[in-house]
Amino acid sequence: MSNPNIETKVMELMEPERMKEELETEIAAAEDEIKAVMEQAERLLAGAFKVAWTPDTSSCPDTIALKKHESFLLTMKKQGWRNTRQP
């Protein structure tokens, strides 16, 4: 594509991106309002709707942190572990 075509595509992309940000803000506001009404209740009946809000916890390891330290661990394994603590 030439530069004018890319400029057109970028302009076409900007509007949906702006709309996406606005919708995300509206969604977050609606969720916060529902959570405030629910307070500590796990379930809520709202007309024909059943609303449940529970915190989500994960027991998966932090792969980003593992990858970040992977090279360090491999280096230490090759060199051998050295304890530098003083007794």
**DSSP states of 25-72:** HHHHHHHHHHHHHHTT-SEEEETTEEEE-------S--HHHHHHHHHH
Rounded Cα–Cα distance for residues 33 and 46 (Å)? 13
When pLDDT is averaged across residues 13-37 and rounded to a whole number, the result is 92
Q: What is the pLDDT of residues 31-72, one digit of tens each?
A: 888 888 888 788 888 889 898 877 667 777 777 877 777 777
The alpha carbon dihedral of 70, 76, 77, 82 has a sign of negative
Rounded Cα–Cα distance for residues 21 and 23 (Å)? 5
Structure tokens at 19: 């709309």
How much is the pTM? 0.51
